[in-house]
Amino acid sequence: MTVQGITYKFHKNRNVQIISCPFSGGQARGGVELGPDHVLEHGLEKQLESLDWTIAPTKSLSFPEPASDPDEGKLKRPNFVGSSTKNVADTVAAALKAGTFPLTIGGDHSLAIGTVSGVFSQHADACLLWIDAHADINTPQSTPSGNIHGCPVSFLMGLAEPCPPQFAWVKPYLKSNKLAYIGLRDVDPGEREILRKHNIAAFSMHHVDKYGIGKVVELALERVNPDGKSPIHLSLDIDALDPEHAPATGTPVRGGLSLREACYICEALAETGNLVAMDIMECNPALGADAQSVNATIAAACSVVRCAMGETLL
Ligand SMILES: [Mn+2]
């Protein structure tokens, strides 16, 4: 079957590189390292093939733990996260250089330090859509928990001052006018200040309620990609979805996106033709109340990925 419709301007040949990242070092709850295998066992590769993508052999990264990893200020496991995300950045950059679409499956959202670094190293004019219940923009100073999965965006923007040595390799590629959030509903006080100070496009669930998801995506793209030319990196935390649809995740927050709203975001970004990379993060099969809630979460993850990769309803 030939799939009609979307042309991916930066991936016209529809070659995808799945990058499996069984990594949990950016937060405290075990099990998120099992996310990639569950997503792959759900048949994601075959699903992408049915959307006319050619699948490169999946790259499964391994993340050796350092012998010693003392806190860096408040930050927990800085050596582990720093070296692991560097590995991810190199892998994502290599995938793009090879002409493949990097589809990174986490693992916790600290991995995006790597995915975004890798993408922006190859596409300096890219923009980033961060779909999440949380802003993940705490600095090493503002973080209440010390868990680095709550900090990746601050590293990517160069807001960490001083920058911990483990993240000295991260270049501040991400400019405030190239970042938009959708789905926010649990933002720390320090993060609110950062969002305001840098005038970052942040669409919370309040905006989704007020304008509807169609208008929100339109407004977000107007902010970060006004001329429609920038490549788009989509980083999607499964906790953006309401726990009703995606309960098996480390930091669920009620009042989130419906499955259709999340799918719509991905469909609309795919329709631009500008998608250049995607992350699907924070599926934690160990945290579902039962097999059914784990399965629902993994199925939702596969659904949003398919929508980003060209699946349409009609
Ligand atoms: Mn996140």
Q: Does an H or E element contain 183, and which?
A: strand 179-184
Distance in angstroms (rounded) separating the CA atoms of residues 122 and 23: 24
Whole-structure pTM over 0.95, yes or no?
yes
Q: Is residue 19 part of a domain?
A: yes
Say if residue 4 is exposed, middle or buried (CB neighbours under 10 Å; 0-12, 13-18, 19+): exposed
- Cα 5 to middle of ligand 1, angstroms: 31
pLDDT by residue for the chain (314 residues), tens only, comes to 455 589 999 999 999 999 999 999 999 999 999 999 999 999 999 999 999 999 999 999 999 999 999 999 999 999 999 999 999 999 999 999 999 999 999 999 999 999 999 999 999 999 999 999 999 999 999 999 999 999 999 999 999 989 999 999 999 999 999 999 999 999 999 999 999 999 999 999 999 999 999 999 999 999 999 999 999 999 999 999 999 999 999 999 999 999 999 999 999 999 999 999 999 999 999 999 999 999 999 999 999 999 999 999 99
The CA R_g of the chain, rounded to the nearest whole Å, is 18
- Provide the domain count of the chain: 1
Is there a catalytic annotation at residue 261?
no
Catalytic residue among 186, 191, 267, 282: 282
Q: Tell me, what CATH number does 147's domain have?
A: 3.40.800.10
Q: Is-cis flag, bond preceding 107, omega within 30? A: yes
Q: 117 in a domain, yes or no?
A: yes
Q: 6 lies in a domain?
A: no
Residue 121 lies in a domain: yes
- 282 as an active site residue: the answer is yes
Active site residue 11: no
Domain-embedded: residue 119:
yes
Question: Separation of 302 CA from ligand 1 center, angstroms?
Answer: 17
Four-CA torsion 88, 92, 95, 101, nearest 10 degrees = 130
Active site residue 290: no
**Active-site residue 237, yes or no?**
yes
Q: Is residue 302 part of a domain?
A: yes
In terms of residue numbers, what domain contains 115?
Answer: 15-308
